[in-house]
Structure 1
Amino acid sequence: MNLILEYFFLTIVFFTLLYVGTKQKKTKGIIAVNDLRHLCKSEVEKKIYDGLQKRGVYVSPSIKFGYCTIPMALEPYKIAIFTYPHSKVALFKRLKLKQHELYLRSFGWKVLKFPQETIQKDVDEALNKIFIQVKIRNV
């Protein structure tokens, strides 16, 4: 009798796990590449987008993740790229950026921040910093 109950219990557990496994969302291993340059909100973001695309790296602009929006994301590497104004007037924007940074890091994202002035002066230097810190093979 105990053996029958044990088999019955294991059967229920098996079918429950099978049901739960089939209902989970399957994640895609391949990301479709589209031209999303029109989603960039500023000229600085467009410069970063163009530079990364020229070097063969897929970048996604304006990605919603939880309650925050990531301006530029390298999704396969879980890397978020933020730009911020370097003026003292933009204190609120930098505090909001710090809040987003902590939120994303709690989910395993790496956050890179660049002042907008640095990117406007020399985009290649900023892109090289991205490649060095991220260890992406430069194409």
Structure 2
Amino acid sequence: MDWDKEKIWRIILVTVIILSGLYMYFGYKDRVEHLKSNNVKYTTAEIIDFNWGAKSPPVFTFIYFIEGQKNKGYHSIDDDLRIEINSKIAKEEYFGKRYILRYSIEKPKKYYELLLDKPLPDSLKYCINCGWDKIPF
């Protein structure tokens, strides 16, 4: 069989595309399995920053504590909020606000989810290093 450079590059390109797709699929599947299992806990997170992505959705940066250790996380704004949010709205309505954060017990720095539909009630306003097995309200 005659292998010229063009055929080899095509095979390499197709292989890279297939492997990349498999990596993304299984990575997403792993994340979903970790966050939907019974092996999750909840804590609080405070939004501290907002950034626009060049070709990606806008992102909130937040901090959260697990067992006394401060961590930084990111939340891509992929829903309808993406259309209406801007820097002014982010600063006025989200900065400094606290929300519930779901995280995997096994991989808390890798698998977490900021629940923007679960703002922290006033009764838990000063709860910084708290952790729960289920949402406390």
Considering the TM-score relative to the shorter chain, is it more than 0.5? no
Greater strand content: 2
Higher helix proportion (structure 1 or 2): 1
Identify the structure with bigger relative contact order (alpha carbons < 8 Å, sequence gap 6+).
2
Structure 1 length as normaliser, TM-score?
0.29
Bigger-Rg structure (1/2): 1
